[in-house]
A and B are shown apart, each in its own frame.
Chain A
């Protein structure tokens, strides 16, 4: 055992004398997490700057006394409450508005057609009305977020117009069926109904949507991890694989440099030599994980979750990374080849396990695919503790990851023993 530790300690020091390797192990994941955390806002909200919007209102109104529908739409866009989201400029013609978008001066143009008021006010009876008026949202094809906000505002305002018209139509039809025939009264009922609707629509909606994060099984309260911590988990696991591959590669380095055969001439048994290598790989990634978790806590404000399960997941993650590092190296013959093989395998694993998407990917086939990778299971486990989970939420994930690990260690040991026996 002492000899195995001596070998482990030597390899361990070798890793910590390589600056580029250290940068990859520690700096890269933190940098990625900090950068992506900043990109998506460090809290819960997306921070978006005001969308440059141009509006062309060609609507003339339906007649004296009634407010023009186009003006209502424009008012919704220029509402004082929207100034943080939208920077609205009015233009005269649809051509100049489109040109502004095409030239990148605006993200989106809202083009209100001439007959909007006429269409909305035109007829109170369905089926006989004039053709629908179409509000056009002309957007920069490369952009989606800004135009979505504008579209949401326009759609909501349009829906209010349609709702008011529906209320008026329904009121008039119901009044007629209750034997009211006088046109003036019918008109009044209709316009009163539209007014009531408009006032109600401005107040709180009857049904609201309450949003929350998923609750972890057995946990009642919702926990919201910040973006940086979600990104860091993925990056940590990804770069731990590289952290493991570097000391694992030292087996091939030592073979090439002749120190491995020389070790075999000493009375130290081969299993002890291999064991020492495994220990150093494991220690290197374990320390990497601990440093990243602590740095994430203090630099990025990550709240990892319950200490016990976090500790277990950290250990399992180190085992997984060590076994993957060793098994990818065991297939290669030269250190250069090992570097390339393991990079390819790791990028692929990162891809299918969701390491690059933080914990924010989407459902469906992905949930199945990621379970073919031990890293995918780890991502699931870490996500569970991040969202407030406990022992019960990591048991299956840790078990599955460990099973993969055993297989990988087994293959690596078999290949190394066969080659160096």
Chain B
């Protein structure tokens, strides 16, 4: 069975001067895997997911979802996908159950099948007890669960989740992440966007890193980390002279990159932290400064992003 095949998607808002939110994107998502789009805010994640859910028409290119084209067969595509929008998109004045019934009908369910699916989903999201309360009375986490539940009613083959964990408590977040793993276990293909590196690392079979509308890297976590090599990220906080020391440290052997210092903090990307560390302390002392804090980080996706763009993921 075919998963999702993206071929040369491009979208520019307010052409010709507007931002290019997706720039010649091509990738594929395999049937049954969890695929994460990782990138900072404004990288083009929501634009990409909107094009794959037939909400936005690409300027150039096409994508096939389960074998159907998003530009030419949007009706067929929509029957296969379930979309969980970034913000809670539900009716506050309807109860949880009424919301699910409504969205089920919108996906074309009816009769006993509809009620059966609503019951199942209520069970799944753990809101059987509160199903008759208006949504307005739910907590933020409960609304999030209904928000996801509404996309599951028609048993979609593909589930898109657009930053589903933004601004919620750790407990709800954990339950969502576990839920996503369950969907995969049930054979659903998941497209997950996030700017939390940890989530992408934990969940994904494969990860695509987006920046400024471009796919700058794609692969499994290990493949991506390998891009950086056996590099270590060293975070240093100095009480003074950060500027001059940063310039000085850029010339040290085995130092690949040094950031611009900010409030006395800076980081270095180095090939061999063990030999480098004493030289850092030495340099600081010579400059009359003191290192007040130092951290070592093994390579991860954050390091990858840093390596590829020169910026931190959460800038």
Contact = CB atoms under 8 A, between A and B. Distances in A.
A263 B106 CA distance: 7
Residue of A263, A264, A265, A268 with highest tally of chain B CB at under 10 A: A265
A83 interface: no
Contacts of B124: none
Interface string B99-113: 000110111101000
B55 A6 contact: no
A6 B93 contact: no
Residue of B87, B94, B105 with highest tally of chain A CB at under 10 A: B105
B238 interface: no
Interface of B is mostly: loop
Contacts of A297: none
Interface in B224-256: none
Contact of B89 (A7, A261, A267): A261
Interface in B106-134: 106-108, 110
A250 to B, nearest CB: 10
Contacts of A257: 89
Interface in B66-99: 75, 78-79, 81, 83, 85, 87-91, 93-94
Interface residues of B, number: 24
Interface string A356-389: 0000000000000000000000000000000000
Contacts of B81: 265
Contacts of B83: 262, 265
A14 interface: yes
A14 B90 CA distance: 13
Interface residues of A, number: 20
Interface in A249-269: 257-259, 261-269
Interface in A320-355: none
B103 A266 contact: yes
A261 B85 contact: yes
Contacts of B106: 3, 6-7, 263, 266-268
B129 to A, nearest CB: 23
A419 interface: no
B75 to A, nearest CB: 6
B75 A267 contact: yes
Contacts of A199: none
A6 B102 contact: yes
Residue of B87, B89, B90, B108 with highest tally of chain A CB at under 10 A: B89
Interface of B: 53-55, 75, 78-79, 81, 83, 85, 87-91, 93-94, 102-103, 105-108, 110, 150
Given A3-B105, A6-B105, A6-B106, 9 more contacts: A258-B87, A259-B89, A259-B90, A261-B55, A261-B85, A262-B85, A262-B89, A265-B85, A266-B78
